[in-house]
Amino acid sequence: MRLVKIGKNPNQPMLQVDIPEGTGTWAFCSSQVQDYANKTLQLGDEVELTYTFANGRCDVTFIKKAGQQANTANQQSTGFQCTECGASLKDGRFKKCYTCNQNKGGQQTQSGAPASNFNCEECNAPLRDGKYKKCYPCNQKKPKQTKTDATGASIEKQNANKATAVALTAMIGQVNPNNVIGLVGDLYDAFIRNFKK
């Protein structure tokens, strides 16, 4: 294949190349491909391309001079490697690559034992830590109850006490002070009976 022309418009990078699908075909490319072609290639050079041709549109994704080695400057080793798979890391901030870090659920410790010794009480599924006894799906089948009957009874008693106090303040001056204690008990019992109906 031969490079015929390099586009001049920086907003729409294009190359004109002779490809089997058409002679002198204009192909779209990235600005990096166009810059590389401007700097290293001459018009009329034989080139090797990586391109796609679909629906009448040609897209060049890689270009180099025929017989030239691909630029491996971007593939130089940094000296840092993943502790799990040995893949090259870009710096020493992390010990594992992204893929190995995401696969931590099935990882083994150095002794060969599973990474987690915590399991669900019902289905024996592995748990992340010992904070919970059940996994989420098992807990949703029968969740722990938070409200008890004692709470409801306490609320009824508090309401009866408040209603009794309000009723007694309304009766100030109408009730004999010697009979107040008996009246409080009678009012409280009456309010409790009414709340339970």
pLDDT, residue 1, reads 75
Average pLDDT on 139-153 reads: 75
Does the structure show a pLDDT above 50 at 6? yes
pLDDT, residue 20, reads 67
Banded model confidence at residue 147, pLDDT cuts 50, 70, 90: low
Mean pLDDT of the chain: 79
Banded model confidence at residue 161, pLDDT cuts 50, 70, 90: very high
Q: Whole-angstrom Cα distance, residue 178 to residue 170? A: 17
Does the structure show a pLDDT above 70 at 17? yes
Average pLDDT on 159-170 reads: 91
Instruction: Count Cβ atoms below 10 Å from residue 16 Cβ, excluding itself.
Output: 16
Does the structure show a pLDDT above 60 at 88? yes
* Structural Rg of the chain based on CA atoms: 40
Instruction: Give the pTM.
Output: 0.34
Hey, where are the domains in the chain? 2-65, 77-115, 118-146, 154-196
Find out whether 130 and 119 touch, Cβ atoms under 8 Å: no
Average pLDDT on 2-18 reads: 79
pLDDT, residue 158, reads 92
Question: Architecture of 2-65 per CATH?
Answer: Beta Barrel (2.40)
Whole-angstrom CA distances from 73 to 34, 40, 76, 93 are 19, 16, 6, 22
b/e sequence 40-78, b meaning 16+ C-beta within 10 Å: ebeeebebebebeeeeeebebeebbeeeeeeeeeeeeee
Does the structure show a pLDDT above 50 at 120? yes
pLDDT, residue 46, reads 85
